[in-house]
Amino acid sequence: MPRTLEGQITMEKTPSYFVTKEAPARISSMSKGTKLIVVVRDPVTRAISDYTQTLSKKPDIPTFESLTFKNRTTGLIDTSWSAIQIGIYAKHLENWLLYFPIGQILFVSGERLISDPAGELGRVQDFLGLKRIITDKHFYFNKTKGFPCLKKAEGSSKPHCLGKTKGRTHPDIDQEVVQRLRDFYRPFNMKFYQMTGQDFGWD
């Protein structure tokens, strides 16, 4: 990590931190006061998004439906598949709470980041003790992309959307499998809402 001078904030992001067993102890021993931000979305959509990303790199992988189950007949879900495992947020959070108080972690809703990016970034700015510089006026909805984009990128006068790897079309998944996954995640989601004091509305 680079040195942080008075009045500066150093930020680092890696999607796998939240699910890495050793990460909380390591970050805590580096700096106990580190503020943590976690972006979470509906774990079922997250799993499909994860699969879509892998599929784009390896088009020959088995279907989402077949990877989901250890045994399709009994409906036993393969919780060792990382696409499924990562979405068990309550389990991962337990690991972080051994090292950090809940107030030191901000949970950003992936859904609201799309429906109300300025509102969600307002929460981020407040959490970091920053003035609310980024507001509604920085975003517009890009109909072609189907997502909010920045009116002006940093250091440019041109609009900027996230790249092609963000906001891919997901494959159609058997609705029975989706429902089975919804049932699977429900208790973990409830526990996560309880732990964070936030209802993410994933049901």
Ligand X SMILES: Nc1ncnc2c1ncn2[C@@H]1O[C@H](COP(=O)(O)OS(=O)(=O)O)[C@@H](OP(=O)(O)O)[C@H]1O
Give contact residues for ligand X (rule: CB under 6 A). Answer: 15, 49, 52, 113-114, 147-148, 162, 166-168
- 168 labeled part of a ligand binding site: yes
Kindly state the tokens that stand for 9. 């904030």
Nearer to ligand X, 19 or 190 (CB): 19
Nearer to ligand X, 122 or 167 (CB): 167
167 marked as binding residue: yes
Q: How far is the CB of 123 from ligand X (least distance, A)?
A: 15
Q: Which residues of 169-189 are buried (b: 16+ CB within 10 A; e: fewer)?
A: eeeebeeebbebbeebbeeeb
Both structure tokens of 170: 């997901």
Within 10 A of 132 (CB to CB), how many other CB atoms are there? 12
Q: How many CB atoms lie within 10 A of CB 80?
A: 8
Measured from the CB atom, the residue of 45 and 95 that comes closer to ligand X is 45
Asked whether 79 and 67 are in contact (CB, 8 A), the reply is: no
Say whether 72 counts as a known binding-site residue: no
Q: Which of 43, 114, 115 is nearest to 83 (CA)?
A: 43
Residue nearest to ligand X (CB): 49
Between 146 and 187, whose beta carbon lies closer to ligand X? Answer: 146
- Tell me the closest approach of the beta carbon of residue 36 to ligand X, in angstroms: 15
Of residues 42 and 180, the one with the C-beta less far from ligand X: 42
Alpha-carbon span 79 to 90, nearest angstrom: 14
Q: Please tell me whether 87 is known to bind a ligand.
A: no
166 is in an annotated binding site: yes
Q: Is 79 annotated as a binding residue?
A: no
b/e sequence 133-159, b meaning 16+ C-beta within 10 Å: ebeeeebeebeeeebbbbeeeeeeeee
Residue 70: CB minimum distance to ligand X, A: 25
Binding site, annotated residues: 41, 49, 166-170
Query: Binding site for 3'-phosphoadenylyl sulfate: residue ranges?
Result: 41, 49, 166-170
